[in-house]
Chains A and B, each alone.
Chain A
Amino acid sequence: MENPPITYYALDLEKRELERTLTQLNQSELGAELVGKVATKGLCATYDDGLELIQEGGLQGRTDVASVSSELRDRHQYRVERVSTGRDLSPSSSKSADTEATPPSTPGSDKQPFHLLFLGSSLGNFGRGEDVAFLRSLPLEPGSGNTILIGLDHDNDAESIEHAYDDSRGITRDFIMNGLKVAGRTLGDESLFEEDKWEYVGKYNQELRKTLYISFGYRVTRPCYRST
């Protein structure tokens, strides 16, 4: 069976979210329309690792297992997992959580173009200077046929922007405060930052307006001292 002409990879570090959203996509009407045209897969990696993998031709439409040379295995070990979800897994269903090692590329194959999508103003998540450095690092040489689509918010009035990042239902507040939990967890104690001692402040920075800068801040609501 011929591979679809285009393979779409959703790149993210959160594997369970990739499984959830890709499954949702495949089960949707759109998913049915994509069959034969666009294969959809997940790529669980950092931006840098994912891009390196792409550049090496590691994602050249491979879905099958092939022999792995030991040299390649040492340098570029990765797995393709087929994850099956669904309520009706029969015992005879062929693949469920198989892991297969696949080599980066077919020797001698041409590098096919790849297209990057960087949507949702995610470029804004980089710090100043880091955003430029990141874009510069992308392999977008003329003649390569490679492209990037960047979704970036343009300048709007401060009030709209601040409301955008501080909705009346408090979902954004929960989203930002969750960051403190993650910080604590990363440092070994999820409750390191006691939630009732911090509040979320979203302010549009007028001085840095040129770079459309919005800062999410945590402000201590009452001082706390922690003995170590």
Chain B
Amino acid sequence: MSAQPPVAVDIVDARARRAAATDPLRDDILAGLTGSRPAGERTLPTMLLYDERGLRLYDAITTDAPEYYLFAAEEEILRRHGDHIARYMHAGRAAKIVNETVVELGAG
């Protein structure tokens, strides 16, 4: 017996549009490791950290690592000043809000 009704979420999947002949991530990895940089200065792209497992680990950092002050600080700012921020977003627009879009980049 389920306590929750079925929940549906809409996901716009825009990944299918690009038929990639090359994998940019693969290229970035190889470029960072084999390029002209001297030994000791090789690089890997940050994107590597954010696969599904990485995102869950990051989630765990925000909840279980108090040293990671950034998350709590940002949450407090949004809590305290959220109203002000929202009003500022609509500053100068007297019209009723209709059909506006908010996009969180890298929401995870």
- A residues touching B (Cβ–Cβ < 8 Å)? 3, 5-19, 21-23, 26-27, 38, 40-45, 47, 49-51, 53-54, 59-61, 63, 76-90, 93, 95-96, 112-122, 125-126, 145, 147, 149, 151, 153, 160, 163-169, 171-172, 174-176, 178-183, 186-187, 218
Tally of B interface residues using CB under 8 Å = 65
Given contacts A85-B6, A95-B8, A113-B93, contact A9 B101 (CB under 8 A): yes
Interface Cβ pair total, 8 Å cutoff: 269
A residues in contact with B12, CB < 8 Å: 9, 41-45, 53, 59, 78-81
Beta-carbon contact of A6 and B9 below 8 Å: no
CA distance A28 to B74 in the complex (A): 21
Beta-carbon contact of A114 and B9 below 8 Å: no
B83 at the A/B interface (Cβ < 8 Å)? Answer: no
Beta-carbon contact of A14 and B108 below 8 Å: yes
Beta-carbon contact of B2 and A86 below 8 Å: yes
A residues in contact with B46, CB < 8 Å: 125-126
Give a binary string over B66-82; 1 marks a CB under 8 Å from any A CB, 0 the rest.
11111101100100000
Beta-carbon contact of B61 and A167 below 8 Å: yes
Given contacts A80-B11, A167-B65, contact A43 B108 (CB under 8 A): no
Beta-carbon contact of A114 and B4 below 8 Å: no
CA distance A41 to B8 in the complex (A): 10
B98 at the A/B interface (Cβ < 8 Å)? Answer: yes
Beta-carbon contact of A83 and B8 below 8 Å: yes
A residues in contact with B5, CB < 8 Å: 86, 88
Closest to A80 in B: B12
